[in-house]
């Protein structure tokens, strides 16, 4: 497995030394789990918080991406390794405890990690829709080169979160939910033909559709070397901070 200089103590000291929290941020005491991939050079990449919400997740991710490990090995060769640890943070943003034992099974850890970095990976079209599959008609469900958002999935999630307006009525009632929006990315990368594919509560539908108007232009999909119209689905998550 990858190794950090001086083990748990060295990692704890490094995080506390480099974690600089703005005085404007409110930090509560909480335990959480960090996960990422230690690559063949020992860099900690694609870091995310898979359990716990501290209010300073971006700060934690930023300092964790500074970590450098002795990379893991398999059969004598350096390999990429999914790596995780649990932390407890006190009021004010000081990390008091760190453990490499997260209490999460390896299989469950993988699922939580990939759900965190790409919540769209398990979203599939609803079964009663007759999606086109022939090249000469379109739009398409799957193509050789799927549409892509500038900056990748993480940037897409960031833009959605920053522009999402939580319905006041839902906020007052403490409602949370998810809306899956189906649309077409056309040959110019524009979002067209929006519709609600699935909704846990229709109070969120208008806000979910509206936030998509704030997204950047996609890189269009391609099939057989030609730009084509492609179906795309995005889950919009409505979550109230506790």
The confidence score (pLDDT) of residue 93 equals 66
**What token pair was written down for 64?**
């964790």
Helix (H) or strand (E) run with residue 160 in it: helix 152-163
The confidence score (pLDDT) of residue 134 equals 45
The confidence score (pLDDT) of residue 154 equals 82
The full set of domains in the chain, from first to last, is: 7-117 (3.30.1150), 152-238 (3.30.2420.10)
Q: How far apart are CA 28 and CA 89, in angstroms?
A: 8
Phi, psi of 84 (to 5 degrees): -145, 160
The confidence score (pLDDT) of residue 54 equals 62
CA distances for 132 relative to 136, 137, 141, 150, 209, angstroms = 10, 7, 7, 26, 23
The confidence score (pLDDT) of residue 135 equals 45
The confidence score (pLDDT) of residue 101 equals 77
Q: What is the pLDDT along the chain (242 residues), one digit of tens a residue?
A: 888 888 888 888 888 888 776 666 566 667 788 888 888 888 888 888 887 766 677 788 888 888 898 988 888 888 888 888 888 877 666 778 888 877 777 777 777 777 776 665 555 544 444 444 444 456 887 788 889 999 888 889 889 989 999 999 998 888 888 888 889 999 999 999 998 888 888 899 999 999 999 999 999 998 888 899 988 888 888 888 64
Phi, psi of 220 (to 5 degrees): -65, 160
Residue recorded with tokens 């965190």:
116
Helix (H) or strand (E) run with residue 116 in it: helix 106-117
């Amino acid at each position: 497995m990858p190794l950090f200089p001086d083990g748990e103590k060295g990692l704890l000291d490094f995080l506390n030394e480099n974690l600089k929290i703005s005085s404007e941020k409110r930090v509560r005491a909480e335990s959480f789990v960090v996960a990422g991939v230690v690559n063949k050079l020992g860099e900690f990449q694609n870091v995310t918080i898979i359990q716990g919400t501290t209010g300073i997740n971006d700060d934690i991710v930023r300092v964790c991406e500074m970590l450098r490990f002795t990379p893991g090995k398999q059969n004598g060769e350096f390999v990429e390794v999914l790596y995780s640890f649990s932390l407890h943070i006190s009021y004010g943003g000081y990390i008091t405890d760190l453990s490499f034992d997260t209490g999460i099974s390896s299989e469950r850890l993988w699922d939580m990690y990939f759900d965190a970095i790409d919540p769209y990976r398990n979203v599939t079209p609803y079964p009663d829709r007759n999606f086109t599959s022939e090249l000469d008609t379109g739009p398409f469900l799957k193509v050789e080169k799927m549409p892509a958002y500038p900056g990748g999935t993480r940037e897409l999630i960031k833009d959605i979160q920053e522009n999402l307006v939580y319905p006041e009525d839902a906020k007052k009632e403490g409602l949370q939910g998810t809306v899956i929006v189906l649309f077409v990315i056309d040959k110019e990368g524009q979002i067209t033909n929006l519709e609600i594919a699935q909704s846990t509560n229709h109070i969120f539908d208008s806000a979910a559709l509206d936030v998509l108007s704030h997204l950047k232009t996609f890189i269009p999909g391609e099939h057989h070397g030609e730009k084509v119209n492609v179906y795309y689905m995005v889950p919009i998550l409505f979550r109230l901070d506790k």
